[in-house]
Amino acid sequence: MAALSCGALLLTGCSAGAGSGRAGGGGPAPLNAKAGSATGPSARPPIEGRPGPGTAGEVAAVPGLGPGTRARIPARTRQALVVTGAGRDSSAGTAALHQQGAQGVWRTVAGPWPAHNALRGWTDDHRAGDLRSPIGVFGLGDAGGLLPDPGTALPYDQDIEFGDSGTGYLDESLEGSFDYVLAIDYNRVPGTSPLDKTRPLGADKGSGIWLHVDHGGPTKGCVSLPRGRMRELLRALDPRLRPVVVMGDAASLRG
């Protein structure tokens, strides 16, 4: 098998380097996969999204999610990136961004886009080294990368520690995978750089789970999107809308 799919990895995730991270302003607890509330600045009035490519139209609830999954989305969240795996053991899937506007109506504002996840698929009990991506609802509030800020409203940490090299599971080059990164609030402290190594749940629960630039193959635990889509996502996310990622295989998300 080829070298690890996320290069300079931190435990089971895809984060590189040792960066110190930004102050967390009190460091609210991370969103749990099964329950919790979104973190971030005080909400301002939501912004109604405009339909983008692949728009499914206005619906009362985020499409593709069952009642159990919908219940885990915090009440104040108005943006949700839904990453849907093709199967429990699949490393491929799709991602679409949804936004809630007036009268609680949700609209698909971008996607669906192709996505990759971990080599062995998905799990609702993520462990270090299991080569599976965690299922759940997690906050999205901190970004960074090797390249300059593409225009996101989120805090952005440009750092050389995001550099990567080597090859992935399909012998694909990993160079540029961390040009743009969005930290998924799984076993981390929201309000810090994606490079921060604080692990509230302990090292055995894995860490460094990111959204990052796709390198053409499975990851070790992260979710990856095509380069242009990562830039689009970073520019679309609005901290006032308390964005989250809802991720897992299709059958789990329908639960």
- What are the Cα distances from residue 172, in Å, to 137, 166, 253? 30, 8, 30
Closest CA to 229 of 64, 99, 52: 52
Structure tokens at 121: 């698929």
pLDDT of 40 = 35
Specify the DSSP class assigned to residue 167. B
Convert the pLDDT of each residue in 147-182 to its tens digit: 999 999 999 999 999 998 899 999 999 999 999 999
- The Cα 236–Cα 239 span in angstroms is 10
Convert the pLDDT of each residue in 217-237 to its tens digit: 999 999 999 999 999 999 999
Residue 69: phi and psi, rounded to 5, are -70, -45
Domain edges within the chain: 58-253
The per-residue pLDDT string of the chain (255 residues; one tens digit each, 9 = 90 and over) reads: 334 434 344 434 664 443 333 333 333 333 434 333 333 333 333 333 333 333 334 456 898 999 999 999 999 999 999 999 999 999 999 999 999 998 889 999 999 999 999 999 999 999 999 999 999 999 999 999 999 999 999 999 999 999 988 999 999 999 999 999 999 999 999 999 999 999 999 999 999 999 999 999 999 999 999 999 999 999 999 999 999 999 999 999 999
